[in-house]
């Protein structure tokens, strides 16, 4: 078996290339928008990509599933419950895909999203027992995926799905679709783990169901451009890659200088936090536009006006500002340190 994990630092995501050295067949799981690395790897190692799979409809990056399937002449597979506007092969509970001597078996694991699945991978040349699980956004290293939909009901589904994975043998390796990012609260940053280690040391897996549901349903910020990303991945719109390009460098403005910077330029303050964060304290005259909505609301803003982008710590706003600059907003800056620094500087805060 050939196994390669791709780590994508710009999104905090992981994708996977699994191939049979014997049959030269390969499968790609959770491909990113840029599919060239998978195509090049297949060519370099003389593999034929036969299957392309997404474990769920992604909300934080545009999938390359359709582009890769078309380029490679491969079959496109999605969970049977995926609500999309294009043709695909459906994956149901216990369905199996054979890639040479490698077997991928489907486990339905709703919670993060209703259609979510995980994939048990068995190398029959070595054992009839599974060697690893591609856990999607169900189980992370040190965390679990937040429920995108369904509130407490989705959280209860997530609890049952994670417990289902914990029934696997200790030796099974866990390879999630994220190693960092907005889909969890406290991923440890490692790209893989084992079922045994997560059973013992994953903090979220130590809770009873009621505590688990309460914790995972606490509000969290949605990913950058989430609304447009989901629409694109469902095939009901096409917003492109929705990532800032490498030249989108954004200036920073220190909190103690920011009030003067705003006044001198008559700048618009764009707060990309969620409404519940904005309501707890914001800059006077700031516009609340959560980062999840940015791509679908670009027409609301004047590209010729100065923009100061704000969030709680400065991290989300830096990425949002880079995206806006890549879309032609050149008079743009990021509030260094976010509202935390703004408050420390003694600047006025409205609630």
CATH code (residue 53) = 3.60.15.10
Tell me, what CATH number does 317's domain have? 3.40.250.10
C-alpha–C-alpha distance, residues 312 and 41, integer Å = 40
For the whole prediction, is pTM greater than 0.85?
yes
Q: Is residue 275 part of a domain?
A: yes
The answer to whether the beta carbons of residues 337 and 310 sit under 8 Å apart is no
Residues 69 and 146 in one domain: yes
C-alpha–C-alpha distance, residues 347 and 336, integer Å = 14
Q: Is residue 210 part of a domain?
A: yes
Residues 206 and 92 in one domain: yes
Torsion sign across C-alpha atoms 54, 55, 56, 59: negative
The structural domain count of the chain equals 2
Instruction: Note down the domain range covering 166.
Output: 2-216
C-alpha–C-alpha distance, residues 201 and 76, integer Å = 36
Q: Each residue's pLDDT tens digit in the chain (351 positions)?
A: 999 999 998 889 999 999 999 999 999 999 999 999 999 999 999 999 999 999 999 999 999 999 999 999 999 999 999 999 999 999 999 999 999 999 999 999 999 999 999 999 999 999 999 999 999 999 999 999 988 777 899 999 999 999 999 999 999 999 999 998 766 677 888 999 999 999 999 999 999 999 999 999 888 899 999 999 999 999 999 998 887 766 678 999 999 999 999 999 999 999 999 999 999 999 999 999 999 999 999 999 999 999 999 999 999 999 999 999 999 999 999 999 999 999 999 999 999
For the chain, the 3-state helix, strand and coil shares in percent, each to the nearest 5, are 30, 25, 45
Q: Is residue 349 part of a domain?
A: no
In degrees, rounded to 5, the angle at the alpha carbon of residue 95 between the alpha carbons of residues 31 and 109 is 65
Residues 57 and 179 in one domain: yes
Dihedral pair phi/psi, residue 76, rounded to 5° = -100, 125
Residues 255 and 200 in one domain: no
The residues with which 340 forms a beta bridge, in sequence order, are none
């Amino acid at each position: 078996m050939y196994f390669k994990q791709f780590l994508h630092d710009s999104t905090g995501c992981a994708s996977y290339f699994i191939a049979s050295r014997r049959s030269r067949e390969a499968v790609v799981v959770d491909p990113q928008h840029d599919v060239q690395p998978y195509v090049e790897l297949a060519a370099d190692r003389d593999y034929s990509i036969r299957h392309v799979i997404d474990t769920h409809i992604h909300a934080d990056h545009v999938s390359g599933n359709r582009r890769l399937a078309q380029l490679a002449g491969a079959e496109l597979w999605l969970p049977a419950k995926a609500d999309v506007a294009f043709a695909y092969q459906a994956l149901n509970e216990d369905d199996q895909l054979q890639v040479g001597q490698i077997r991928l078996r489907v486990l339905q694991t709703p919670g993060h999203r209703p259609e979510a699945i995980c994939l048990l991978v068995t190398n029959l040349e070595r054992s009839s027992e599974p060697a690893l699980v591609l856990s999607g956004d169900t189980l992370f290293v040190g965390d679990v995926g937040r429920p995108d939909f369904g509130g407490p009901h989705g959280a209860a589904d997530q609890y049952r799905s994670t417990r289902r994975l914990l029934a696997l043998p200790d030796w099974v390796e866990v390879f999630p679709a994220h190693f960092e990012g907005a889909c969890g609260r406290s991923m440890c940053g490692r790209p893989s783990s084992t079922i045994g280690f997560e059973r013992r040391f994953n903090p979220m897996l130590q809770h009873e169901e009621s505590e688990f549901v309460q914790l995972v349903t606490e509000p969290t910020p949605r990913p950058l451009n989430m609304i447009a990303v989901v629409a694109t991945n469902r095939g009901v719109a096409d917003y492109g890659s929705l990532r800032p390009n490498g030249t989108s460098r954004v200036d920073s403005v220190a909190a103690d200088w920011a009030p003067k910077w705003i006044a001198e330029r008559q700048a618009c303050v764009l707060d990309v936090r969620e409404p519940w964060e904005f309501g707890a304290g914001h800059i006077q005259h700031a516009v609340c536009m959560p980062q999840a909505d940015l791509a679908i609301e670009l027409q609301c803003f004047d590209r010729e006006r100065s923009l100061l982008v704000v969030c709680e710590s400065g991290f989300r706003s830096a990425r949002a500002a880079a995206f806006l600059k890549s879309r032609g907003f050149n008079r743009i800056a990021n509030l260094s340190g976010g509202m935390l620094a703004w408050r420390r500087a003694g600047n006025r805060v409205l609630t």
